[in-house]
Chain A
Amino acid sequence: MNEHNDTTNSDDDISKLYAQASTEQPPLHIDDAILAAAQTLIKDKPSATIAFSRRWAVPVSIAAVIIMSVSLVTLIQHEIPEELTSLPESVLSQAAPKKPALTNSEAKESLLARMREDSAAIALKDKQPIALARKPAASKRSEKIVSSPSPKTLVAAEEEIAFTESLAPLEPQADTPQVASVDISATPRKEKPKRKFAPRQMENKAAMAAFMATAPTPSCESLPISDCLVSLQCTLTTKDKGYICRKARNHCEQDFSQKTGTAEQCTTKPNCQFIPGKCFCPPDVICVCGGGPPRMCVPG
């Protein structure tokens, strides 16, 4: 107990001794600098406008992004059909089918004629009550159409006519290049033919098909190897330890794909001989050997 008290007294003595010894003070210039900084920072309080802008910066940014996104999406949805109609007049005129499109008056006349035929048919059916009794709903619908063709019905009929007309140039034709038909089939809009502006879209597609048909095809020399192999108009041959793509020179090379063409496809052509590829390595394949000629269909 005494030892503990001695220790405590000793600790107090140490504290006293340290307190007497520890008298260093920071220099006055430090005091002045710190006090001045404290006063300056208090005076330079951030203004209310800065606080306001900081408070609203994030919500305003989020709102701006949302508005921009929505307006952009809306704009894109409206812009796509406009882009297709912005093709040159010459292209649009070429895209028009050989059969001239019906004018509004003609379309109406045609529709009315069809309706008259329908009403005549219904009139005949009216004389057969048993048959009508079996299908009351159908008869009601027909009667409606016959009794009063509304303006909406006429507009729908117009669209239907335009849609039917626009389908004509899209049908596969022998003269139409394959590339053009492939591009149209790849158009994603084809999936939605029942939309409100579907007939207009189909017109645009027809215009696009005509545009693709008349557009200048790239020369064989400019094609890369992979495209040249697929092309039916071009032939890939070896030259100076390399490959060149040139235009097909004869009927054997014409319409023969060096990538997928078979010996049978070649030999079915008159006076044509199939030469299999020898140590040919396509550009996108890793091969053991390469540099040799690709498969060819040559006269012989």
Chain B
Amino acid sequence: MGNYAKGDTEAFNALYTRNKAALYRYFLRQTQFSNQAEELSQDVWTKVISARKNYRSSAKFTTFLYQIAHNHLIDHIRKQSVRIVEVQDTSTTELDPPVRTKEQPENELESQQGQALILNLVKQLPQAQREVFILKEEAGLDLHDIASITATGVETVKSRLRYALAKLREGLVETYERT
């Protein structure tokens, strides 16, 4: 980022390539809509470009990036008066079993089913737990960084992550047992 601030556009290209997908998915999981995720991620990258001179190399770039992303998401939620729906009814979360085609082997089918299931379970997590989980999985941030970004304590982050993982585990076990 420091190199980019000095005029090295290749440095920015590298940063962008490394982080673009994770940031996009961060917004996609939070908003559930691809068009909003595109718009928000574009806004955040524009902010990053504008704030290149204010960047302090003491912080990790990912922390800096997701701090902007978190704030922008909060602004977006407030502006749009979007209330992220906390789905409590587990009956709606049941997945339709994927239809097996002749060419697909059985283990591949199971794998596809598991991936769709985990994404669906993540979607159903409470917003705070979901954000902590995504920041850990997508951005690879540790608990301290997540706490800093979400302006909460480390213990709170740890607790949210534990709850999120527990719910995902329960959801997976329950689905596999049923099938």
- The residues of A with any CB-CB pair to B shorter than 8 Å are 7, 10-11, 14-15, 17-22, 24-27, 30-31, 33-35, 37-39, 41-42, 45
Q: Known pairs A26-B41, A33-B42. 11 more at Cβ < 8 A? A: A20-B111, A21-B116, A24-B21, A24-B24, A24-B25, A25-B20, A25-B21, A34-B45, A37-B46, A38-B12, A38-B16
Cβ-defined contact, A14 with B118, below 8 A: yes
- Minimum CB–CB distance from B17 to chain A (whole Å) comes to 9
User: Which chain B residue has the least Cβ–Cβ distance from A27?
Assistant: B38
User: Which chain B residue has the least Cβ–Cβ distance from A31?
Assistant: B20
Cβ-defined contact, A11 with B165, below 8 A: yes
Cβ-defined contact, B25 with A14, below 8 A: no
Q: Mark B17-43, 1 if CB is under 8 A from A, else 0.
A: 000110011001000001001100110
- Interface of B, secondary structure class, is helix
Task: Given the known inter-chain contacts A34-B16, A38-B9, please indicate yes or no for A15 contacting B21, CB distance below 8 A.
Answer: no
Cβ-defined contact, A17 with B137, below 8 A: no
- Determine which of B21, B28, B122 lies in contact with A18 in the assembled complex, contact meaning CB atoms within 8 Å: B122
Number of interface residues of B (CB under 8 A): 33
- Interface of A, secondary structure class, is helix
Cβ-defined contact, A35 with B16, below 8 A: yes
- Determine which of B4, B21, B49, B138 lies in contact with A26 in the assembled complex, contact meaning CB atoms within 8 Å: B21
> Which B residues touch A18, using CB under 8 A?
118-119, 122, 137
User: Which chain B residue has the least Cβ–Cβ distance from A40?
Assistant: B49
Cβ-defined contact, B46 with A34, below 8 A: yes
> Which B residues touch A26, using CB under 8 A?
20-21, 24, 37-38, 41
Cβ-defined contact, B25 with A38, below 8 A: no
A34–B45 Cα distance when bound, in Å, is 7
Q: Mark B45-74, 1 if CB is under 8 A from A, else 0.
A: 110011000000000000000000000000
Cβ-defined contact, B118 with A21, below 8 A: yes
